[in-house]
Chains A and B, each alone.
Chain A
């Protein structure tokens, strides 16, 4: 175990930003995607682990503080000098003499940016600048808080591809906060779902998918024709413009997909769709709360 959270609460005035009662363990090699809507407490949880916000509760760790690397949502640096000097000061090394760092700079195609000042870097270059230094920390546990937010689709894709490639085969643990589920599908094998500061669920992505969506989901447009066509199918909670059908068995799945193909309906099939996990876990949690009162 690298880190364990127990009964963690964070209060900002009268507002309780975080109220975690379910114990959360981060094990060696875990790749945890932290999801939830804005204000769910994702960044607050990371900040409390780092001691950046006042909190009450227990956080156990076997790690030294410097063994945790963090990419915050907003990373700022001085603008008084080119970024190469900031990098050298932070990493306490000379770029020219450090092969590992040179390789990382090349890997992230950052060489041409070293002479620029931080404010002159593009959004993607700014993210890569921090990521290079974080990867140089070679920490057993790394937090990435919305590492791709504000980036265009192509830059986002490239950055995530680089990260996936970098971490492949490594046993470092990652906690990734993101609103882009397709990124988490590539990077995370566990999910921590937060809502209004509380833990909705935490576990392996496959187990959560089984729990809330069964074998597979079939996603199609929520048109009147499609609603009629799937009237007898088991539906899951979904965004208004979509219909998400749940298939518990292979036969059930084949029956539904055959019908959709016969009627020339476009659909998407998935057995790991994080959006469906999130919506249905939250839906189940809300129903449980309505029934039992607050559960934490």
Chain B
């Protein structure tokens, strides 16, 4: 029995990873919005964009630029929407508390879930770029460009995860979380220039809001970084810091609000008063 207990102390466990894998595999939102939609949208938009191009020499640039921008849809759909909606549904049914009563704490659950979500993201990106390479001619990145893209997507994914988790913890219901996350999803798409209106064509006041989002820079400028051109990172970095701070605060508030469900650990062997707040 002691061995069984000891195993549960590990943050990452094979059994929990398998559980999370099946959990993600059984979540239709991440498949539809996280894999299907980006692939389909990128193909359609690329096809339309290519038909408007004056010459074939611009095709790799246009295609690569579109695919790099559309790639941001994957973490948004998988984490900001899919994860948030699924977790909110679990919270409303008391599933994390039930698992906690079995000795699986929320931190362990979150760590395994986060790891699995990132593995799923890798797979989704592979499918996305593979489909792009099969259908269109994508430009090869420089090593530095590829590294920068992976780094930017990883950071953006973390922000999406924090936002998704925070929204789910605050809303605690499927309906509300779905509503908030889909609004953010489309807002990010529109402001990032992925819905047919580019940043330059947006009204000035909307541009001010768009400047605060990393998706704007990834969609508009990442081709330069991808091909190794010189690029001023400061505005993009500021947008990351801004959105990172917003998601961090939301996550902090959400976790603080949920602190009431601090399972019994505080009572052990003690004789003080325990207002569980």
Contact = CB atoms under 8 A, between A and B. Distances in A.
Interface of A: 48-66, 68-70, 72, 74-81, 85-86, 88-93, 133, 137-138
Contacts of A77: 95, 98
Given A65-B267, A81-B23, 17 more contacts: A50-B264, A51-B261, A51-B264, A53-B260, A54-B275, A57-B274, A58-B273, A58-B274, A60-B267, A61-B268, A61-B269, A66-B8, A66-B103, A72-B101, A76-B98, A78-B90, A92-B16
A133 B101 CA distance: 11
Contact of B260 (A54, A59, A69): A54
B48 interface: no
B102 A59 contact: no
B27 interface: yes
Contacts, number: 115
Contacts of A57: 273-274
Interface residues of B, number: 44
A64 B268 contact: yes
Interface string B41-76: 000000000000000000000000000000000000
B87 to A, nearest CB: 11
Contacts of B262: 51
Given A74-B94, A78-B23, A65 B273 contact: no
Nearest to A82: B22
Contacts of A61: 267-269
Interface of B: 1, 4-5, 7-8, 13, 15-16, 18-19, 22-23, 25-27, 90, 93-95, 97-99, 101-104, 260-277
Contacts of A54: 260, 275-277
B264 A89 contact: no
Please give me the 9 A-B residue pairs with the lowest Cβ-Cβ distance, nearest first.
A80-B26, A89-B19, A81-B22, A51-B264, A76-B93, A66-B103, A54-B276, A92-B7, A89-B15
A93 B4 contact: yes
Contacts of B275: 54-56
A74 B97 CA distance: 11
Nearest to B264: A51
Contacts of A50: 101, 263-264
